[in-house]
């Protein structure tokens, strides 16, 4: 399984975080069913509502090159506590990737695993629009 590599890619993605205001670095890496890995970091904008999270950056990169099937996403921070995806990221993960494995890593290198439906148990998804 590529999870060890996926975790390392997410941890490395933190180094590219553009977070001059909060100093809160986040890296993410998403694994496709084809075995490809796409990384992303959080990018802060002075108008905070325009900021994008690492999870969405990684998924949007993958989607923008044609990827549509995902297995897992890793979210890595420097914090002592585990940081789960924000509500917007939970919705994006649910819509674009479904009930995939979500792996969190903290600053101590520990990991915690969830599935999308654990963090967003009753999602509003594309079938609701049909």
pLDDT tens digits for range 41-89: 999 999 999 999 999 999 999 999 999 999 999 999 999 999 999 999 9
Tokens of 74: 């890793």
Rounded average pLDDT over 3-12: 97
Supply φ then ψ for residue 33, to 5 degrees. -60, -25
pLDDT of residue 25: 98
Which range of residues forms the domain containing residue 46? 3-129
CATH number at residue 21: 3.40.140.10
- The number of domains in the chain is 1
Contacts 24+ apart (CB under 8 A), 112-116: 112/82, 114/84, 116/90
Q: Above 60 in pLDDT, residue 1?
A: no
pLDDT of residue 126: 86
Rounded average pLDDT over 101-108: 98
| Short-list 71, 1, 63, 65, CA closest to 30 | 71
Residues tagged active-site = 55
Question: 73 with 55: CB under 8 angstroms?
Answer: yes
């Amino acid at each position: 399984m590529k999870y060890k590599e996926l975790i390392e890619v997410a941890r490395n993605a933190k180094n590219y975080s553009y977070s001059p205001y909060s100093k809160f670095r986040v890296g993410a890496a998403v694994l496709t069913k084809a075995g490809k890995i796409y990384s992303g970091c959080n990018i802060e904008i002075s108008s905070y509502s325009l900021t994008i999270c690492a999870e969405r950056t990684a998924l949007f990169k993958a989607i923008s090159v044609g990827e549509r099937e995902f297995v897992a996403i890793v979210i890595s921070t420097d914090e002592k506590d585990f940081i789960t995806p924000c509500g917007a990221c939970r919705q994006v993960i649910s819509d674009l990737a479904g009930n995939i494995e979500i792996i969190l890593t903290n600053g101590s290198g520990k990991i915690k695993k969830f599935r999308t439906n654990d963090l967003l148990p009753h999602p509003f998804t594309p079938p609701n629009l049909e």
